[in-house]
Amino acid sequence: MLRDEPVSEDVDIKYLARITKGYSGSDLRDVCKRAAVYPIHDFLVEERKTRGRSGSITAQGSSNEGSEKHAIRKMVLADFVAALKEIKPTVMPRSTQHNTTQHNTTQHNTTQHNTTLHQKLIIFFTLGRTC
């Protein structure tokens, strides 16, 4: 998902894995997509400011009056945290799907599920950074 996106080195993958327990693969994809929007939004805001100050913007992103150029910044941890405020997990935790007589089994299954999802998340974010 993040393979072609520039991600800052400040993004703590293990921290993101911890705070996204309970998120499905689809939820994580949505978080990444939303987090990728923030740098583009910031770029467009800067471009509007530049256009307002110095005239029109050319297709290459530079103004006709002066040579100010803005680049799209890398994604940072704050982008992911902001995305997590908007994107909530869509999967009901397994512990609420079982009745109380199966509590021990449910607790074991939930722990197993979270560990697996945790591992998938680390792989998901790491592949995006290294590819």
Please report the DSSP string for 84-96 in residue order.
HHH----SPPGGG
Query: How many Å apart are CA 72 and CA 12, to the nearest integer?
Result: 21
What tens-digit pLDDT sequence spans the chain (131 residues)? 677 788 999 899 899 999 998 999 999 999 999 999 999 999 999 998 888 765 554 444 444 444 456 789 999 999 999 999 999 998 766 655 554 445 444 444 554 455 566 666 666 666 555 43
* pTM of the entire predicted model: 0.61
Which domains are delineated in the chain?
A: 13-130 (1.10.8)
DSSP 64: S
